[in-house]
Chains A and B, each alone.
Chain A
Amino acid sequence: MTDEIFKEYEEKLPKLIIDEIKANLPEKADAAKVRKILEAVHAEYEKSKLDAGECVGLLSAQSIGEQGTQATLDTFHFSGVSEMNVTMGLPRIIEILDARKTISTPMMEIYLNAPYNQKENVKKQALLVKEIKLKDVATEFLVNIADMIIKVDIDEQKLKDLDLTLANLSKTLSKAMKSLKIKQDTVSIIAKLEDKDANLNSLYKLKEKLKETHISGIKGVTQVLPVKRGSEYIVLTAGSNLKAVLALEWVDKERTTSNDIYEIAATLGIEAARETIIDELLKVIKAQGLKIDIRHLMIISDTMCVSGAIKGITRYGVVNEKSSVLARASFETPIKHIMRASLVGEEDKLHSVIENVMLNQVVPLGTGMPVLKAKKKE
């Protein structure tokens, strides 16, 4: 009985809404009631549809822009408290919308598989992720100018904590630093510079380079922090390397994520990147206590990702993709656009706002949409 009514509305309402109604329907709702509910839902659905000629893009820009003026320009610091220092606020929004290749605070949220996500295991797993450099396990770097030698004293306890030995440490080092002769002492490593014209300065530079040499863990992850999320423990990291993390078998591949949009696009694809843009924007907006409808963010994310690659809201990004020469030229670098257009004989259809304002023509939006149509008598 009710199924027939639902079938009737299948074309009028999206499947998602119908499923939701079905799931929430009271047991003893009769046909008349069901019809009434569907009618009300349908009316609401039609009401929330956009009118033809509504300029959604500009409304999104205004909806975010107006709220943005309320946002604090500063980033809040969670000094000392469980969370990490992440760029938030306006700087982060700019970073996302500009689609910056290198972001100021890349970070990951690593979810762990069942046995590892408990309190007693999470610390050990976290340490496996953290990138260890030579300076982290060394106590002192001593420079001997006379023999052109750098002596690195190693903290054995730290080495032990990381499941490393002096032997394989010197092995990794000699692999990484080809110009050095690495020798192993009881509690130290001696690196000899074999270059004949080496001087104090080059030795000094080498010392700095040696400090930064990668030893273990995942490259780029500078900090790790186990945090409780609901009933499980997850690992927050400063620095992001999603591809390497997802390769670890004890990581939950479905929920682990990064805030580096380009990394997401490279490892998980453009659809994931689109979701990440929305999520990251929402995070900032929520933290600032602003109320911006998610659909505004969706349309922005869509325009940024629609070409298949991430395009920022900059002159090199989406503005470059605009179909109108005049619109592009009016934004930035007009000479470049006019030259290119004149070389290929580009055509401007005057479909958008700025071109029509430039020509003093009616913008095809709102009251500019209706057009009089009359049939000519043959």
Chain B
Amino acid sequence: MADVYLNNKFVGTVENPQEFRQSLIEERRKGAIDKNMNVYHNADSNEVWIENSKGRVRRPLIVVKYGQPLLTDKHIQQLQKNEINWSDLVNQGVAEYLDAMEEENALVAFYEHELTKDHTHLEVSPIAMLGLISSLVPFSNHAPAARINAGSKTQKQAQGIYAANYAVRMDMDVNILHTPQKPIVNTIMHELSDYNNHPAGQNVVVAIMSYKGYNMEDAIIINKGSVDRGFARSTYYRPSLAEELRYAGGLTDEISVPDKEIKGYRSEKDYRLLEADGIIYPEAQIAESDVIIGKTSPPRFLSGADEYSLTSNVRRESSLAAAHGEQGIIDFVTVTESEEGNKLVQVRVRDQRIPEIGDKFTSRHGQKGVVGLIVSESDMPFTSSGIVPDLIFSPHSLPTRMTISHLLELLAGKVGALSGRYVDGTTFSSEPEEKLRQELLSLGFRENGVETMYNGETGEQMEARIFIGDMYYMKLKHMVANKIHSRARGPIQLLTRQPTEGRAKEGGLRLGEMEKDTFVSHGASMLLKERFDSDKTLVPVCENCGMFAIHNEYKKKSYCPMCGDNVEISYVEIAYAFKLMLDELKALGIYPKLMLRTKY
């Protein structure tokens, strides 16, 4: 007697749960029961769970009966001739989808030759367990799962060509790699997913060694010569757009070169690149604060009375200008109409990005790092055959992460580059390491991939032989040019008088809660005070009532609005944000009284 649950509800009992489950599955394969139904028998609690609710993750498997897969050669021939497709296989009951529960009752064989009569299912392909991008990692059966995960995550951030018509598109934050290459070491998924038609990386010569400590903490060293030859060069595109919005009372924005009488007029120099229509011309070189689209807007606060009066009819400046630190060349200008029928101007700025210190690179194995140093070609180490690496990778990145796949790709890449062919690194069915080593040996190199190298600066032979080969490297979209930021002084917020936040607003670098704690635990109280001084103010405080008093600079007199001028008034230095808080407490009807006392 087993309890039966349908979608988590108790519906009754069955005498023979095994038989019951089997009959349900048979009916499903025949098509009598919906394909979405899954059934699971829990032998421990003797319960049968039937599920057909939505939201379950299910995966496809080939059905096996009496140790033989239902998928036959005939099916495969038909598939190849395009006579049938996958859904026909599912409808015929040759393949089926299992959910996490029913999987518990299944015995799935990885390969066809492993099948026994106990098996219920056969894996479609061992790589079916991987996602699209995970299966782009070569030799990934030789690396920990966490690294493959990281590897596929960083591949999504690689620069490449995202769309063939990028030249006429107005997308935000676009990076186009100038000379992408197909990977020498690929997987079957590179072919299946059309990756080779829009690759996102380059094959480079990588040496695994340290270089003066400039590649510690996962940093990489790149060759200046390679950079000059165009390694990892890309273009960054950013569109700006301005629309002539309509406001109440027939007023509209106007795209034009702003008048000098306008409120908030910048300076003549800022508008110099605008043409007569108020829009910048293509191929103009722009720098910080240059206006890209000149625009004026009607006055902001229009009350009913002065709507038509001349005095307040001063338009205000609302041009689009290059942001702080931004530079580039105007690439593309369009003038169209928005959905509402307003005039819409879109201008795309292009900026060539040559790899620099701080740009982020990654291999396909989750081994990401930033450029630590760009070394001139003459100072780079070289092999006895004169090969200079494009990139130096730190050996310290390997032991704890155990990405053997990284090393295998280096070796396979070397074989591929030397023999002029692509190497298959598909997970579980890659070319065997032993074969690659033999091939490398027959090509006249050491079978383990190491080579004698020489110091580029002194010409001395290095004591250790260096593991060097070819790898596929990708430049990621995180580039210092978009992120570098510093501030010594700058704008403050109107409300709190504290520094603004964020790079775009030239903001301060936050000294957070935990950083504050480090000051305190060192006992550096005075330093701590100084660091938080950015919004300090001197306020007069009435010693009688403990509220803020008033200081009249013109009359050189201080008085308390409540107690008059016959009281002691002291000047106290406090944070402006605190003064603001006390004001807000007062607005809530709370009386915050300051009780003053000499501190020193």
Contacts and interface: CB of A to CB of B under 8 A. Distances in A.
Contacts of A58: 517, 520-521
A366 B523 contact: yes
A366 B574 contact: no
A55 B526 contact: no
Interface string A37-68: 00000000000000001110011011000000
Nearest to A65: B514
B517 A62 contact: yes
A372 interface: yes
B600 A366 contact: no
Contacts of B595: 347
A365 B523 contact: yes
Contacts of A359: 574-575, 578
B441 interface: no
Nearest to A363: B525
A157 interface: no
Contacts of B581: 358
24 contacts: A53-B523, A55-B520, A55-B521, A58-B521, A59-B521, A62-B518, A338-B590, A342-B590, A342-B591, A357-B532, A358-B581, A360-B532, A360-B533, A360-B573, A360-B578, A362-B526, A363-B520, A363-B525, A365-B520, A366-B525, A367-B525, A367-B526, A369-B525, A371-B599
A353 B591 CA distance: 23
Contact of A360 (B575, B590, B591): B575
Given A358-B578, A359-B574, A371-B600, A62 B525 contact: no
B573 A366 contact: no
Contacts of A361: 529, 574, 599
B143 to A, nearest CB: 20
B525 A360 contact: no
A65 to B, nearest CB: 8
B585 interface: yes
B353 to A, nearest CB: 35
B600 A338 contact: no
Residue from A353, A358, A360, A372 having most chain B Cβ neighbours under 10 A? A360
Given A360-B532, A361-B529, A363-B528, A62 B521 contact: yes
Nearest to A341: B590
Contacts of A362: 525-526, 529, 599
Contacts, number: 74
A207 B585 CA distance: 60
B487 interface: no
B597 to A, nearest CB: 10
Contacts of B574: 359-361
A360 B536 contact: yes
A338 B524 CA distance: 30
Tier of interface size on chain B? 20 to 34
B521 A368 contact: no
A217 interface: no
A365 B581 CA distance: 25
Nearest to B528: A363
B10 interface: yes
A292 to B, nearest CB: 15
A369 B533 CA distance: 19
B522 interface: yes
Nearest to B577: A358
Interface residues of A, number: 28
B59 interface: no
A357 B516 contact: yes
Interface in B504-555: 516-518, 520-529, 532-533, 535-536
Interface in A321-378: 338, 342, 347, 353, 357-369, 371-372
Contacts of B522: 366
Contacts of A62: 517-518, 521
Contacts of B532: 357, 360
Nearest to A60: B521
B555 to A, nearest CB: 29
A368 B600 contact: no
A360 B1 CA distance: 74
Contacts of A338: 585, 590
A76 interface: no
Nearest to A58: B521
Contacts of B527: 367
A204 interface: yes
B499 to A, nearest CB: 14
Contacts of B533: 360
Nearest to B532: A360
Residue from A55, A342, A357, A364 having most chain B Cβ neighbours under 10 A? A357
A371 B585 CA distance: 32
Contacts of B585: 338, 342
Contacts of A53: 523
Nearest to B526: A367
Contacts of B10: 204
A62 B587 CA distance: 39
Interface in B346-382: none
Contacts of A358: 575, 577-578, 581
Residue from A55, A342, A353, A361 having most chain B Cβ neighbours under 10 A? A361
B573 to A, nearest CB: 7
Given A58-B521, A368-B526, A371-B599, 16 more contacts: A55-B520, A62-B521, A347-B595, A357-B516, A357-B528, A359-B574, A359-B575, A360-B532, A360-B533, A360-B536, A360-B575, A362-B599, A363-B525, A365-B525, A366-B523, A367-B525
A54 B522 CA distance: 8
Residue from B1, B528, B595, B599 having most chain A Cβ neighbours under 10 A? B528
A353 B520 contact: yes
Contacts of B516: 357
Nearest to B589: A342
Contacts of B1: 142
Contacts of B590: 338, 342
A53 B525 CA distance: 10
Nearest to B12: A200
Given A58-B520, A338-B590, A371-B600, A364 B525 contact: yes
Contacts of A369: 525
B529 A363 contact: yes
Nearest to A329: B581
B534 to A, nearest CB: 9
Residue from A61, A204, A365 having most chain B Cβ neighbours under 10 A? A365
Contacts of A363: 520, 525, 528-529
Interface string B548-580: 000000000000000000000000011101100
Nearest to B578: A359
B123 to A, nearest CB: 27
B599 to A, nearest CB: 7
Nearest to A59: B521
Contacts of A357: 516, 528, 532
A55 B114 CA distance: 66
A55 B536 CA distance: 25
A53 to B, nearest CB: 6
A361 B581 CA distance: 16
A347 B595 CA distance: 9
Contacts of A367: 523-527
Contacts of B578: 358-360
Interface string A150-168: 0000000000000000000
Given A359-B574, A360-B532, A365-B520, A372 B600 contact: yes
Which 10 pairs, one residue from A and one from B, show the smallest C-beta to C-beta distance?
A: A366-B523, A368-B525, A360-B575, A342-B590, A363-B525, A367-B526, A58-B521, A367-B525, A372-B600, A359-B578
A153 B595 CA distance: 79
Contacts of B518: 62
A356 to B, nearest CB: 8
Nearest to B533: A360
A58 B515 CA distance: 12
Nearest to B600: A372
Interface string A61-84: 110000000000000000000000
A357 B573 CA distance: 13
Contacts of A204: 10
